[in-house]
Structure 1
Amino acid sequence: SAYTDSSGYTYLFSEEEYVRQSKESDYIDEGYPKTIALYWKNEPGNEQLPKPFQESIDAAFVGHDGKTYLFKNDQFVSSEDLTKAESILAKWGRTQNNLKTTGKVDSAYIHGSQIMIFCGDQIFSFKDCLENDEVMPSEGFPKLIKEHFNNLPAEFHQDIDAAFKDNNQVVYLFKDKKYITIDSSNSQITPHEIKEHWGKTLNPLTDGSVDAALVGLDGKTYLFSGNQYFRYSSDDYSEVDAGYPRTIASDWGGLEQVNAAFVLDGKTYLFDNSTSNSYIRYSTNDYKEQDQDYPRAVENNWWNLPALRKFDCLLILGFRGLVVLGLVVLHFFCGNLQLVTTATQTTTLIVCCSF
């Protein structure tokens, strides 16, 4: 080891001997090298040192704080008080560890066999199972986020809200209302608005097309468009229910689309005229399970109608002026044709499905 003390003397140690060089001298002082065990304690100021430090030292340096530090076994002394030996462990080797300090994780993602964890302005890497009691960060971690990723915008230097790595090995970092992508080249990184890319859902109503509509026996309103449907529980129709739109095929007995829907005699009917030309019936008001042996083909003599494969709209009327002998008049529309039939119904009912 070697160091320069506050008086300007430079000491170099090698095994059992040491040399001294005075300030502004190009040569070691006369009478050196000397044996550490015999002479080191006699150097200026060393008489104050604890006994182990008078016999030899393991390492030494002058710090940026202007103090001289000497190390011996598991202790050290400083020029601030050469008589006081302190534990090396109590002062040296401590690292900033946000996980230990805060006890929280901001976000994490998987990188090969490593688990990368963000906390404050630091990133950690763990290769061992996090559930192990003695789990330790990988060598070289924690490190500052800005040092781990090159060209990182300043706003992403700390407090990462969310992160993931996709199948193309691109890392996505989210912070407040923005996100960035980082590929293997760590090229120029530009933040983008989250709302410009994320959270978009397939919504056929953006084209203004409704194929069928229904007020169900459960009191909720259903709108069908393309291969999706929307549900409203409120009377003002200001917002669809949470979790909607949903795919028709997953909830309505396998129908791919719904082109007509109505409630009659306590039963609900839905028709798919676009793909399967079939219909389905529900006798319960929760719509969890269709009636047995449904769906059925529309052309299977449905209500003794002519053999039409499709109809565009169904209008059920049962109010004064259109009730004939207590029967409900049903109007089916197919292109430029209109079919009229009747069904037993004593209750006034209006259901209209337009497509």
Structure 2
Amino acid sequence: MTTAPADSIAPVLVLSTGRCGSTMVSDLLSRHPQVLSLSEFFVPLGAQAFAWQRPDGERMWRILTRQNTALHAMLKDGKIVEENLYRYGTPGARFSPGDVPPILAVTLPHLTDRPDELHDELEPVVRNQPRQPLAEHYRHLFGHLMARFGRQVWVERSGGSLMHAAKLLRLFPEARVVHVFRDGRDTAISMGRHHNFRVLLGAILKVQSLGYDARRAFLKSKGSLLEVWIHQQAFRLLDVGKLAARPTLTDFGAFWSDMELVGRQVLGTLPPERQLSLRFEDVLSAPRETLAGLIRFIDPSLEDAAWLDEVSAIPRTARSKYLELPESERQALTSACAPGLELLGYAL
């Protein structure tokens, strides 16, 4: 059995609202020779990622490789967002957007240029596991990948993972957390231009109008089959096109702010030494200092001058998009984001 190296480092969860630069952080960490960068692992699995408390290997393989209704609704029409790394239609690619396994859409192509082969390799690794606590399945899989790629620590990052922060910290209570954030007004604009986020927030707004409290679900530390059922019904019965058309820019601003408040409530239980606040604007304006601090936080033994030289040259500063909005729209968006902006120290 392939297991994690004996000298492996405590795992790291990169948590964010999404559309705030966390993908870049994941990409930069993937260049480190000792970091297993798991990009978009948990969020594409949906509610199924947390629903079964003691699954067997067969169940785990279904969770990892069968699209949940939300993911299928986003992919079935072939609308592929930039984060999706699977190369549909190329030689050796066996899947289409409507049936690609969740772990094959981003996570495995992020690790290797032969993701279909890695997918096949992982099948017996996962399916042969006994019935055991959910966290042990994930630890076994991540340990296998760490050993296969010769890494010392795994770092998982999914866009929108603050929605699952309570559940992730229950699974991995020893984890260190990197909280990536960006000015909520720029984040909201980016969300509004992103197909998956438009569908996601459209669905949240719809089920909330029917009496379902999504925020309460985000704060729960355990998943449930009821959540799976609710997601299944919502995405089977609702029109994805109408969902995507529903949210306004201020809706995205309010959603961003609410997620940051959820994050503060969940992360408030962690000791300060296990948290790092990573402001995306700092990554752009002072990449060397910021990324050096990031890798030291993960573990001082990972400091690597060659890696830091390489990744510090990648980020480029960018102008805030919200400043280009008409005055009335800018004021409305700032008002929607205000609680989160104040929480994170941004000027209103």
Name whichever structure is richer in helix by fraction: 2
Q: Common fold, TM-score beyond 0.5?
A: no
Task: Say which one has the larger Rg.
Answer: 1
Report the TM-score, using the length of structure 2 for normalisation.
0.17
